[in-house]
Structure 1
């Protein structure tokens, strides 16, 4: 599906009508390797091999806002004086970088009468804005009127331009890297205007278990392509992980597969299931008891079983020769309880 090093075959896209940019949200259960897929040059988008000057990352959170995403007018001390200037943030930096590279290449191709166009795949002008945990922030507030730029036309530019905030517009013209190609930008977009170029890619990740933080409206959702990242151990290091419980080792893969079936039965939803990379080993392929308790068992109790306690919860084991339910706190009161739970959970079915 994806080409190595995120090389975009522009001629193929022209022939098929597919866009030459990515505006995608990768979604799935926690720990399925969504961020890893963005970086993976073999099975993903290949950002690991992209120069640092062409990739920009941010993580949304509940207090994240437009000023943190785009930029804001802020004070700065210079000697004894306090001055004010626009301080660009991740979107502004990615926007300026993308337009500069696009306009430089456009000028270069025009100067050569497009003779070299067939040998220029465009991979070196692609710019990537990566938004981790996109649904943990209020997208409507964060994007503001930039939301309108997400609609692309047949040439993969924004279909509509918007007016930039005056501080942002002044920075683009006078202080950003765009000043070296300002005449070309002004001709293409307009002074004080914003429009996404076709080489600006937006990739985002979303944990399905966190969808309730800030629900996205359908208007925002439809401006992205959605790619589901399934839970899969095939060909991955996580298939080798072992959980060490007081000297006894248990297969992480087998644990995940059994627990995910129970989560689906209990919640009738896949959103809370565990991904293969939900936890990383302490060393080598071994996951320690303390790490497993604090990260995996607490997640299962807090996000899945707590509200279902004694009503179908799979937090149960034989205690004093009687099968009974237990709480997360009980795992610390009874040092043998976790091993009993694992033995019974992973015991071969008869």
Structure 2
């Protein structure tokens, strides 16, 4: 299925019909053993792109496809490459993960080292299954072994990391930026993650929530997918409520309001219904329900959803795009009650009588609010000082990712439109406290962290491992940068970089 799939097969079929001789030459260049493998991979990538049509989103020119061609031609020297196996081998045995475009060569070095030590033994174990085949390359046996073991290796690494974390708990530990953010969140009760598009504000929410709700879970050594799974379980448990603010949202949606109902005799009446925030507060207040839920659904020794003490479990209100709504109108008199020292159980606790139900209402101490805010669009409503005083604001900055498919070169090129000390920021390991210096192409009315295009724009592989760099640059990055020029965020000098991006994308 490396080449026989909906992404690769159609490309080769079309080129075989339209440009068969050019396709053969491209293959011959890839198979030329007098040239180093990394250079051949780079040439294959460029030549396949040149053979394709400009409007193609996929050119079947990735390392996985190249590995299949090389393996079919030289099965004793090469084997099939898959990112999942390469990444797991590097993590498990402590190898560095190479830059995109050079992964296959590095993968073969690792495989060949393992073949030299264990190849014959592994093949003997598999002999009953593979004896009917003419070719029985040792490198394929090793690759197959680790393809089968990749999930087991991940579990073993997680167990080792958990053990290391527990044994070093009293020796201190390096906090991640999420851990630092959670400390702030615990103190303020309410935080806003702010930043430009693509900085991962919404993506980061599960990282913060799981660290707050499940303090014994070692989130720093977990895959993001594991964290999201726990986050989703918390939602199912009713510990998380989610909403997106918008212009038509009001107090009745948030706290309580009258809702029309039709009675049994077809008369229209009105019921008082709690809004999303009030419902969450009611759940947080219901200690008996919490205890019953914990005992019945998630026992204390559960390995599925780690947690801390059973009492006062955090309940989370997630607000996406908080500045798209009229925040003062939505919160109403509850705004004061959000303050940490005004919460239920504190010496300065405050209550209000709600206008419809006439109930006395207070915000529980175990209710935490986390919101996101897009700072690039100033047409959105600005948060007034009364709102800002009751929230802590955490900047979500762009930074380089370790993911396969993240294009560091493009990231740096675009980033330098916003900051002029990118190299120093990179050397700081993208420290969130590092002082950024605005680039000359950035308007003096904006800070870099408010508008700097985020890292998610530079992930150039889709979920199937196919490269869509051209599509990303031409239809996402360039239009956004041009919009920034029209809005006065970037100066017209930025057009030079935009033109360079365009030329790189279409060549």
Question: What range is the shorter-chain TM-score in?
Answer: 0.5 to 0.7
Alpha-carbon distance, 1:104 to partner: 6.1
| SS of 1:315 mapped into structure 2 | helix
| Contact residue 282 and residue 288 of structure 1 kept, 8 A | no
Alpha-carbon separation, structure 2, partners of 1:160 and 1:132: 27
Task: Name the residue aligned to 2:486.
Answer: 306
Alpha-carbon separation, structure 2, partners of 1:133 and 1:310: 23
Runs (4 or more) in structure 1 with deviation over 6 Å come to 2-5
Task: Name the residue aligned to 2:198.
Answer: 31
Q: 1:234 to 1:288 in 2, by over 3 A?
A: closer
Correspondent of 2:255 among 57, 70, 76 = 70
* Matched positions, count: 271
Q: 1:63 to 1:94 in 2, by over 3 A?
A: same
Q: Which has the larger radius of gyration?
A: 2
Task: Name the residue aligned to 2:323.
Answer: 135
Correspondent of 1:83 among 253, 269, 276 = 269
Superposition RMSD in Å? 4.0
Alpha-carbon separation, structure 1, partners of 2:176 and 2:309: 15
C-alpha distance after superposition, 1:156-209 (max 9, x if no partner): 657311111223x5xxxxxxxxxxxxxxxxxxxxxx211111111111111221
Alpha-carbon distance, 1:78 to partner: 4.4
Is 1:287 paired with 2:468? yes
Please say which of residues 280-289 and 216-225 is displaced more in the overlay. 280-289
Is 1:223 paired with 2:390? yes
Task: Name the residue aligned to 2:101.
Answer: none
Give TM-score, length-normalised by structure 1. Answer: 0.64
Task: Name the residue aligned to 1:274.
Answer: 453
Alpha-carbon separation, structure 2, partners of 1:54 and 1:297: 40
Relative contact order higher in (CA < 8 Å, ≥ 6 apart): 1
| Contact residue 157 and residue 196 of structure 1 kept, 8 A | no
Alpha-carbon distance, 1:265 to partner: 2.9
- Note the residue ranges of structure 2 that are not aligned, 5 or more in a row: 1-174, 211-218, 295-306, 419-438
Aligned pairs for 1:45-124 (under 5 A) are 47-52=231-236, 53-79=238-264, 80-101=266-287, 121-122=309-310
Correspondent of 1:146 among 311, 329, 334 = 334
C-alpha distance after superposition, 1:273-293 (max 9, x if no partner): 111124765443533544543
Correspondent of 2:495 among 315, 319, 328 = 315
Correspondent of 1:258 among 413, 422, 429 = 413
| Contact residue 441 and residue 491 of structure 2 kept, 8 A | no
Alpha-carbon separation, structure 2, partners of 1:278 and 1:338: 14
| Contact residue 24 and residue 204 of structure 1 kept, 8 A | yes
Correspondent of 2:313 among 125, 135, 143 = 125
Give the number of the structure whose residues are more often strand, by fraction.
Answer: 1
Alpha-carbon separation, structure 2, partners of 1:256 and 1:49: 35
Give the number of the structure whose residues are more often helix, by fraction.
Answer: 2
Q: 1:279 to 1:90 in 2, by over 3 A?
A: farther
Q: 1:290 to 1:213 in 2, by over 3 A?
A: same
| SS of 2:417 mapped into structure 1 | helix
C-alpha distance after superposition, 1:192-229 (max 9, x if no partner): 21111111111111122135521212222121122222
Task: Name the residue aligned to 1:210.
Answer: 377
Alpha-carbon distance, 1:150 to partner: 1.3
Aligned pairs for 1:334-345 (under 5 A) are 339-340=502-503, 342=505
Alpha-carbon separation, structure 2, partners of 1:308 and 1:282: 32
Please say which of residues 137-146 and 211-220 is displaced more in the overlay. 211-220
| Contact residue 38 and residue 47 of structure 1 kept, 8 A | no
Q: 1:124 to 1:145 in 2, by over 3 A?
A: closer
Alpha-carbon distance, 1:100 to partner: 1.0
- Note the residue ranges of structure 1 that are not aligned, 5 or more in a row: 109-118, 170-191, 242-250, 318-324, 327-336, 345-350
| Contact residue 246 and residue 324 of structure 2 kept, 8 A | yes
Alpha-carbon distance, 1:18 to partner: 9.3
Give TM-score, length-normalised by structure 2. Answer: 0.46
Q: 1:70 to 1:289 in 2, by over 3 A?
A: farther
| Contact residue 305 and residue 313 of structure 1 kept, 8 A | no
Please say which of residues 304-313 and 256-265 is displaced more in the overlay. 304-313
